[in-house]
Amino acid sequence: MKGTINLVYYLVKPIIPRKIRFRLRRILVKRILKKRACRWPIDPDSGKEPEGWQGWPGGKRFALVLTHDVETAKGLQNCLRLMEIEEALGFRASFNLVAKDYEVSEEFRRELTKRGFEIGVHGLTHKGNPFRSELYFKKQAAEINEYLKKWGSVGFRSPSMFHDLKMLHYLDIEYDASTFDTDPFEPQPDEIGTIFPVWIYSEELKKGYVELPYTLPQDHLVFLIMGEKKIDLWKRKLDWIVSKGGMALLIVHPDYMDFDGSNHSDKYPAELYCEFLTYVKEKYTGQYWNPLPKDLARFWKENYSKKTGLRRGLHIGMPVYSFYDGDNRVMRYASTLRKRGDEVEIFALGRDPRIKTEVLDEIKVYRLQTREHKEKTSLRYMTQETLFLLKSFCHISKIQKRHAFDLIHAHSIPDFIVFSAAYAKFKGAKIILDIHDIVPELYLSKFHKSKKHIFYKLLLFLERFSCQYADYVIVPNHLWFEKITSRSVKKDKCKVIMNYPDDSIFYPRPRQRNDDRFLMVYPGTLSYHQGVDLAIMAFAGVAAKFPETEFHIYGNGLEKNILYGLIKKFGLEKNVFFKDEVPLEKIPEIIAEYDAGVVPKRDDEFAGEAFSTKILEFMAMGVPVIVSATKIDKYYFNDSVVKFFKPGDVEDLQKAIIELIENKDLRRQLAENALKFVENYKWSANKKVYLEIVDKLTSKV
């Protein structure tokens, strides 16, 4: 029977000498681990986001909740020293105290709460299972409630993690913390199976509380039972939780911490906990929310205490004239919708004509046509996009007949892609036109035409007609918002949603290389208006002064052969290198190895107002970035967060690169300032705006 051996161990535990207990527990842990290694310390199924998940406050990537179970009077004596460690590193925690096993003075409780920590109740005593019967627990609950009131506490954790989520409603609590995502070593090993809090409601009693499972292995298990000497297990599990955007809740016992270097066999060095907190602070600067358990419980109750299943998932289609798996903006939208329970279907380009449909991360992708790398003439440009429009219309209409769409989120370019949803709109679907680039100005830049050209005027007409046909229009920056709303759409049906970096992917990482070479990187499209040729010419002067420096280019485009020619012309074969294209999810690991990024775009009417999300991605990674001082970039940034150079000025770009090479302090300061700046420009902090648009449009569907 599940947990029987564990349970027997805990029943006889009080009469077994400590050394023998440790040996028996080690044998037990090894035996269980052989069977459960695939589910501990990480249970892959526990990372699923809860329904309607909107993220943590302030757009933080994850929540870090620190808790301490104080089992004995000796543990109580160590609490102040433990608090000092956390205070020094800027963290706060809760201390769960046993009511009757030792004296807890009012002075101690006052000191603890005055310093910003929290007190929870850890049972009346630390012996036995309080849930042995409902009658027994109800009797204990009355006394526990008295201590909760006396101590001003709102949280409970049961001794030895015994739990009964139904009986816990007898307590006057806002949260319980007696469960875990996965832990086969507990006496009651029935995990709750999630790294997120859970709202537990009683219809009978008409009251509820928030369940906070611990999600990091307990210190006692890791260091004393398993005998680990490093924090690798904690780091591994934490990094996984962060990747899932969950709650990292840790239990640390002051009873088992060695603050004096005594090397007792039943204690572990307090430095290990300090090392873990330092790891969190340095690796995930600005990315975590460190609430007290009561604050997290109140956040969860306010936002996620409604009964699940009331919201109907939407059916959403997205036509996009690009390769879906290479378009991080569209992938971000689709993933966000899918994670909250919507069904998303993508109508996109394909690289292999044999692959017509595929499923990527639970999202169905229709590959409607292949594409030449980039269209070289305006006629070819229009022909290919018109063909894609017709194919999109046919596919969307066919699906509409058997499974109606609630919303079509059409991604421009081209603007007239909105008409692929004509039949769906006729049947009641709403349409969002998401303008990634303003097409008329892009046409001028791409094909070097004047505003008098008939094709430019046609594109202006199509932009206006498309915007009016759509129910809502999204634009990617504030300059284009002013331009679009002055000529094509009313301001009340248009909103700015920038191409924000996905902070589940783009965040600071420790650098793996340890040499002193200065490496600069450009990842992106190789087109004329991106100005990569300017960066190569500037690097000629840089390499002459610093022969060991390198400039790495990731990307593809029409300009690639021209850029190869420039490298050869300036003799930069040992300094400037083209790198193979890599999947989107691999880009952050690559960027982390560079000393600086460069965004050298030109300042024509299109490029000067086109926002480059690469800048925000560099910022989110903590990599300083050299930026062309175009109109759009000066609108959002200043010299404290980026290193500007005059647009199109090769000599000034060269000076900017050299200054960053010579001034490490400037690089560090730019990176630090940029990390603070980008907090408000991450997807997690802004996706709510998009979801509000979607929900408002479909509220009557």
Q: What is the pLDDT of residues 502-552, one digit of tens each?
A: 887 888 887 888 888 999 999 988 888 899 999 999 999 999 999 999 999
pLDDT for 310: 40
Q: Are 674 and 641 in contact (CB under 8 A)?
A: yes
Fold equal for 4-50+61-304 and 519-681: no
Q: Which two tokens stand for residue 523?
A: 């990842």
Task: Name the architecture of domain 519-681.
Answer: 3-Layer(aba) Sandwich (3.40)
Select from 1.10.1030.10, 1.10.8.60, 3.40.50.720, 3.20.20.370 the CATH code of 4-50+61-304.
Answer: 3.20.20.370
Respond yes or no on whether the N-terminal peptide bond of residue 269 is cis (omega within 30° of 0): no
Q: For residue range 263-306, what is the model confidence (pLDDT) as tens digits?
A: 887 899 999 999 999 999 999 988 999 999 999 999 999 998 86
Query: Which of 353-357, 368-372, 405-409, 560-564 is predicted least confidently?
Result: 368-372
Claim: this prediction has a pTM higher than 0.85: no
Residue 681 near residue 635 (C-beta atoms within 8 A): no
Q: Is the pLDDT of residue 376 over 70?
A: no
According to the model, what pLDDT value does residue 11 have?
A: 52
Contact 216, 223 (CB under 8 A): no
Question: pLDDT by residue (tens digit) across 336-362?
Answer: 898 777 899 999 998 888 888 998 878
May I ask the CATH architecture of the domain 315-500+684-698?
3-Layer(aba) Sandwich (3.40)
Is the per-residue pLDDT at 6 higher than 70? Answer: no
Q: Is the pLDDT of residue 3 over 50?
A: no
Q: Which of 180, 175, 295, 299 is nearest to 237 (CA)?
A: 180
Give the C-alpha separation, 462 to 482, whole Å: 18
Q: What is the pLDDT at residue 662? A: 94
Query: What is the reported pLDDT for 325?
Result: 85
Residue 35, pLDDT score: 66
Residues with Cβ within 8 Å of 602's Cβ and at least 6 positions away in sequence, in order, are 528, 529, 530, 531, 534, 608, 628, 647, 648
pLDDT value at position 604?
80
Q: Which residues fall within 8 angstroms of residue 122, CB to CB, at 6 or more apart? A: 69, 70, 71, 96, 97, 98, 99, 156, 157, 158, 159
Per-residue model confidence (pLDDT) at position 34: 67
- Residues 24 and 16 sit within 8 Å (Cβ to Cβ): yes
Tell me the pLDDT tens digit for each residue of 555-591: 888 888 999 999 999 999 999 999 987 877 788 889 9
Domain chopping of the chain, boundaries = 4-50+61-304, 315-500+684-698, 519-681
Q: Which of 158-167, 371-380, 500-509, 549-558 has the lowest mean pLDDT?
A: 371-380
Q: Given CA atoms 372, 373, 376, 380 in this order, what sign does their dihedral have? A: positive
pLDDT of residue 13: 56
